[in-house]
Structure 1
Amino acid sequence: MISILATSFTSRPLRQLALACLLLPLSIPAVAAVSSSIPTQVQKALTANKIGRDSLGVMLVPLTGSGTTTAINADKPMNPASTMKLVTSWAALELLGPTYTWKTAFYSDGVLRNGVLNGNLYLKGGGDPKLNLEKLWLLMRDLRANGVQQITGDLVVDRSYFIQPAHSAFNDDGGDKNKPYLVGPDSLLVNLKAVRIITRAEDDKISVSLEPPMAKVRIDNRVKLLKRAKCPGWPDVRYNPVSEFDGITLIVTGKINAGCSSQSYISLFDHANYAAGAVRAIWQELGGKILGKDRQGTVPKQATLLASASSPDLVEIIRDINKYSNNTMARQLFLSIGAKARTSADQDDAQAAQRAIKQLMRSKGINPDQLVMENGSGLSRNERISANELSLVLQDIWNGPYAAEFTASLPLVGMDGTMRKRLRNTPMLGQAHIKTGTLNNVRAIAGFSRDRNGQTWAVVAMLNDPRPWGASATLDLFLTDLWYQPKKK
């Protein structure tokens, strides 16, 4: 019955809308009235920034109590930017379950005698979105505790779990392709493929180090030392990786003050080389040796399991994704849905995920006509959804068994995540759980917000415009206007 809301409120005759309200399930409050008006303060901000009404897609729906629903271009397909992560998270909770985990494991095709593994060591990825260096270190400690010290064969990374789509790389600003937020998904995603670079000026010397230490990286240190007492907030240190036939040369330039340090995160390698490099670096620290080379392959059927580790559960994963808008982890989650739902008719796991999510929406009575999912993170020029569709997803979450887990994954207004600096000095502080979305021509918010009467609302506000100046602050005005609902007697 949720599908009753899926058609445009603005075009529905009043008597038809009244009948629909009578047919709504008791868990969803009846809609007393529907408005297509833009709040006064929002309209002033739009006018000041020369943004037209057609750039908006809005749905504000009361979930508890009563109130006037606001629907503005509610059925128009819009680019949602990172608010698309809400659809991916909701679908994962429904299709994978809140306790779902991912497995990463070491296997061997050889025999272990007296600490020597005579054979190859296989590392098989299972799509874990949060396989960080600490988790990998613990897994390798387990491998060491099981008696392995030296491997005579090769280190083989198995990245076959996902069937990857052939999507072109996304770079919204056309800048540095090594930025961590641009890292793509992988069956064996280690530490989000990020290398931490630390530059220190101590004892009249400048040192540059990597974490994890990568044998295939040569550092060309050209940083100049400045004799100044105060450390700047943003040290002038720059990194330029240059690929060569046998590795990467990292050219480090800029200036740093005596006694100061700088650190940055950068993506230097492809997934296979990063995973192998991290394993070798940790294994060396643990006192082990791998005599063979690095290569890619699949675990043989007769291989023996040596050590395995499970990821945190899905509830923790979606918290990282939504609080901090982690694109790479969201894309991992999207492909994980596809890997589980994959059939012989699916070309890849992205296609399987979109099919499964649309089927889920239809099973809930939500018509996904406007939904286009490319990677599930919103880091896309092609993804689309209407404000109405996203609102219906939020309404289903609110009335479903995982409402608490989902809501806790969203940023608290003025307090944490991507909303920590927004609406701090307003009555909205801590009163809403809101996911944000930002691309060059997109600003969006979506989630749950309270008004001063203690009622909760499903909020979706998206703005697509070639010049979205001041759009984030403009969308926040929907929240503050919603807060000041007329006081109930």
Structure 2
Amino acid sequence: MLDTVKSIGWKVRQYKILFAFFLYFLGSSTIACARILPDEIENELRRAGVAEESVGIVVQPVDGQKPILALNADIAFHPASTMKVVTTYAALELLGPHYRWKTNAYVTGKLEEGVLHGDLIIKGSGDPSFSQKDLWLFVREIQDSGIHEIRGNIVLDRSVFGKTGYDPAAFDDAPLKPYNAGPDGLLLNDRKVEIRFIPDIVRDKVNVAMEPRMNGIAIIPPVAASSACGNWQNGMDIHFDDRIAYFEGQYPLACGEKTLSVHPYQMSDIRYFGSIFEKLWRESGGVFNGHVIEGTVPPEAQIVARWNSPALGMIVNAVNKISNNVRARQLLLALGVEFRGEGVTTEDGVDVVMKWLAEKGIGTDKVVIENGSGLSRDEKITPSTMAWILRVAYESPVMPELVSSLPIVGRDGTMSKRLVNSEIAGKAHVKTGAINDVRAIAGYVLAKSGRRYLVVCMVNHPDAGYARPLLDSLLNWTYEKG
């Protein structure tokens, strides 16, 4: 009898030990607690037709050590544009919120009575935000220095970045899409053109206007059509090179006036910047009959005008709120320039970010950065690593700039039309990510309890496009239950 009691007692102790180990791993492992999902999240998973293994989740208090919800947290996922959180945080911390880019104008030769007998050189530093308005003010500043006629060439110095061999069709074979614009040492207007199609019903034709206006570009408009509007963009092909903008096909008059943003990838970078500069130079009363060429600033050149960009703390707003891809690429290269010098490539910027993450104690073994924008089929990160970055960022001196750059749920940016009528509207800052087969969010939620949580969710699945309600449900759940 005594032996039997001892045997039972030993077995009970064994079960207690096993149960203690179970509780330990349940509390300490994000993978272990991954299997317990709230009903509303499970329901949205089923509605979306997305398998559980295709979703990674971490929800954790910003001041806590363990997540309250996790799923596949240590599996590497494609993050889409949530990768911009990593890029912008790195830029803010390594460059500083007050960092500014400089665009300078230099001259060679002699200036006599307003006539420059030499070249005007424009040197870029990779300013992500340089716009047509900025260029117009810069032109005025150059002319205010006393230059009204240039009898040499206009030389564009883009050497701050090395040759990248960038292919705008590589990502999705849609090089005309503005999001496929590549980085440039003299980036202007995000390297895009706004095209307005203006029907003239009386004359049965279509007029085309472009912004920015370019010098020396001939426009051949599409043929007017009497058909229904429908999917009008599929009715024409656009060819946009250094000399001509040709719209081959038809434009239905029934469409009325429409606007289309394009990336004129067939036009050279020199031609894009140069044709806009020439137009503004002449419209401002300047005279120029030379050529626009690529080159570098010679040692004897003298500076005549300077342009400073807005502070980085402001520039990251466009990168995150509207998910500007080319500006994210510029930021990554700027990190390379700051720590490696001019002539850098994207790989230099990637190396800077990876070393910075490692120095902060953030594991990089499952992190892949290709261009820093998330517009990539190669970029990867685990939800737990993204959560770690968000937590470290929240304790950083640049936290205010980073958090304020993220879209506010139901209010602005890519979250402006989501959860508008929910209680969470205005109480969460969340970066979104969306490419084919990928949907993601990463950011911060101020819960109803008054406690702040970091939220990460990545969906990699052919039906990821149906997962938006899942992401929104997770945000709502965090707000209500956190």
Tell me the TM-score normalized by structure 2: 0.87
Matched, 1:473 2:469: yes
Q: Is 1:65–1:455's contact at 8 Å kept on the other side of the alignment?
A: no
CA distance in structure 2 between the partners assigned to 1:81 and 1:429 by the alignment: 23
Letter in 2 for 1:418: T
The AA in structure 1 aligned to 2:316 is I
User: Is 2:237 the partner of 1:240?
Assistant: yes
Distance 1:250 1:285, change over 3 A: farther
* Rounded Cα–Cα distance in structure 2 between residues aligned with 1:323 and 1:245: 32
What is the aligned partner in structure 2 of residue 277 from structure 1?
A: 275
Task: Show the counterpart of 1:298.
Answer: 296
Aligned partner of residue 147 in structure 1, secondary structure: coil
Q: How high is the TM-score relative to the length of structure 1? A: 0.86
Matched, 1:463 2:459: yes
Match of 2:193 in 1: 195
Shift of 1:226: 6.7
Change (3 A) 1:262 1:337: same
Cα deviation for residue 71 of structure 1 reads 2.0
- Indicate whether 1:387 and 2:383 are aligned: yes
Q: Quick one: distance in 1 between partners of 2:67 and 2:364? A: 24
Supply the distance in 1 between the matched residues of 2:448 and 2:405 (Cα, whole angstroms).
23
Secondary structure of 1:395's aligned partner: helix
Equivalent residue, structure 1, for 2:8: none
Aligned partners of 1:225 and 1:241: how far apart in 2? 17
Post-superposition Cα deviations, 1:338-389, rounded to whole Å, max 9, x if no partner, equal 1112279xx9432222221122112222111111111000001100111111
Q: Equivalences for 1:38-437 in 2 at 5 Å?
A: 38-64=37-63, 69-170=68-169, 172-175=171-174, 177-201=175-199, 204-205=202-203, 206-224=206-224, 240-242=237-239, 246-251=243-248, 253-256=250-253, 260-268=256-264, 269-342=267-340, 348-437=344-433
Find the aligned partners of 2:436 and 2:183 in 1 and give their Cα distance.
Answer: 22
CA deviation profile, 1:166-198 (whole Å, cap 9, x unmatched): 4543555534x2121111111010111122222
Cα deviation for residue 242 of structure 1 reads: 2.9
- Larger helix proportion of the pair: 2
Distance 1:479 1:339 in 2: 38
Deviation of residue 15 (structure 1)? 4.9
Structure 1 unaligned spans of 5+: 1-11, 22-30
Structure 1 position 449 matched with structure 2 position 445:
yes
Q: CA deviation at 1:207?
A: 2.9
Contact in 2 for aligned 1:179/1:267 (Cα 8 Å):
yes
Higher mean C-alpha deviation, range 407-416 or range 335-344: 335-344
Offset at residue 212 of structure 1 (A): 2.4
Where 1:78 maps in the other structure, the secondary structure is coil
In the TM superposition, structure 1's runs of 4+ consecutive aligned residues that sit over 4 Å from their partners are 12-18, 33-36, 64-68, 170-173, 225-228, 232-239, 243-248
Query: How much has 1:481 moved relative to structure 2?
Result: 1.2
SS at match of 1:161: coil
CA distance, structure 2, for counterparts of residue 469 and residue 241 of structure 1: 28
Rounded to whole Å, the distance in 2 between the matches of 1:316 and 1:351 is 25
Give the drift of 1:465.
1.0
Per-residue deviation at 1:425? 2.1
Q: Deviations over 1:307-326 (max 9, x none)?
A: 11011100111001000000
Q: Deviations over 1:119-164 (max 9, x none)?
A: 1111111100000000000000001111111101111111100124
Shift in CA distance, 252/140, structure 1 to aligned 2, threshold 3 Å: farther
Cα deviation for residue 470 of structure 1 reads 1.3
Counterpart position of 1:7: none
Measure the CA separation in 2 of the matches of 1:417 and 1:278: 29
Question: What SS class does the counterpart of residue 481 from structure 2 fall into?
Answer: coil
Percent identity for Structure 1 against Structure 2: 35
Larger Rg: 2
Over 3 Å counting, the alpha-carbon distance change for 1:204 and 1:430 in structure 2 is same
2:50 alignment partner AA: I
8 Å Cα contact 2:436-2:465 kept in structure 1: no
Amino acid paired to 1:76: I
Distance 1:470 1:241, change over 3 A: closer
Equivalent residues of 2:158, 2:184 under 8 A apart: yes
Instruction: Measure how far apart 1:293 and its partner are.
Output: 1.1
1:247-294, Cα deviation, whole Å (9 max, x unpaired): 443447312359x53322222223211010110010111111222112
Distance 1:149 1:56, change over 3 A: same
The one-letter code matched in structure 2 to 1:88 is: T
Q: Deviation string for 1:373-420 (max 9, x for gaps)?
A: 110000011001111111111001111111111111000111110011
The answer to whether the 8 A contact 2:222-2:236 is kept is: no
3-state SS of 1:89 partner: helix
- In structure 2, C-alpha distance between the alignment counterparts of 1:15 and 1:90, rounded to whole Å: 33
TM-aligned CA distance change 1:208 to 1:84, over 3 Å: same
1:212–1:281 contact (8 Å) kept in structure 2? no
Query: Structure 2 CA distance, aligned partners of 1:271 and 1:245?
Result: 9
Deviates more, 1:52-61 or 1:434-443: 52-61
- 1:194-241 residue CA offsets vs partner (Å, 9 max, x unmatched): 22222334683543222222234222234438799xxx8997796633
